[in-house]
Amino acid sequence: MRSKQRIVVKAGTAYAREGEVYAFEPRELHVERCAEVEIVMENTDEIRHDFMIPGLNPIFALNVVGPKTISGSFVTPDEDVTLFLHCHMPAHDKVGMMGKLIVGKGGPMKVISRLASPPTISKSYEGVGTVVGALPRTGRLIVDHEEIKGFMAAMQMSYAVTPPSLLNGLNAGDKIQFTIDGANSTITSIRVIEYIK
C-alpha cells in the first residue's frame, strides 16, 4: 500500500532571509519513494506565488493569488533523487523562492530546464513605480510598480540593477520611470519623475 504524506508549505515575504524578498518555509522537503504527497500551500502575500517541481513527470505546480491556501497531490518517483522546486513567477526564484524535494535518501540534484524558452532577442519594458528601497551595495532595487504591460502585474518586487550606480541618490518614496531587460529581469535605466518631499 502506498504511503501518504501531507506537507504544509508557507510562501511569502514573511519567510525571507537576509538578502531575499520572498521564500518558502520549509524550503527542504523530505518525502519517501513511491509516496502520495499532498502539498498544502499557504500564500500569505497579496500577490501570486507558484510552487513548481519541474523534475516530476508530470510536472507538479500550484499557483495562488494570496492571501489564500490551496493544495494538490503527486506521486514521488521510485528512486533516491533530489529535485529542484521554485516559484515560477518571473524573478521570484531569483530573490529567494527556491528549495529542494529530497526523495528517499536523495541524490545529486536533477537539473531540469526551468521551462526555459529558446534564446530570443532581448526585449525591454517600461515601468513606473515608487522606490521602496535602493541597495547599491547589492545592486538591487525594491520598487512598488504599476503593471508592466507584457511583463509583470502590479506588485512590490526586487530587481537587479545594472550598473548599480543607477541607484545612487534614490530615496524611498521617489517616483521613478525605469527600463527593464525582460530576458534577465534587470533594470537598465532609471529616471526620477517625482522626488519625495
Average pLDDT taken over every residue of the chain: 88
pLDDT tops 80 at residue 11: yes
Q: Is the pTM of this model over 0.85?
A: no
pLDDT of residue 111: 57
Rounded distance between C-alpha atoms, residue 76 and residue 108, angstroms: 16
pLDDT tops 80 at residue 128: yes
Query: The cell 501531507 sits on which residue?
Result: 6
Report the CATH number at residue 175: 2.40.50.320
Rounded distance between C-alpha atoms, residue 164 and residue 116, angstroms: 27
First to last CA, the chain: 66
Beta strands (DSSP E) in the chain are: 4-12, 23-25, 28-31, 36-43, 48-53, 60-65, 68-75, 81-86, 98-103, 109-110, 124-135, 140-145, 155-161, 175-181, 186-194
pLDDT of residue 153: 75
The reply to whether 67 and 164 lie within a common domain is no
pLDDT tops 50 at residue 169: yes
pLDDT tops 50 at residue 129: yes
The reply to whether 25 and 88 lie within a common domain is yes
Tens-digit pLDDT profile for residues 70-124: 999 999 999 999 999 999 887 788 889 999 999 999 988 765 544 444 444 458 8
Q: Which domain holds residue 61?
A: 4-110
The reply to whether 29 and 73 lie within a common domain is yes
The reply to whether 83 and 153 lie within a common domain is no
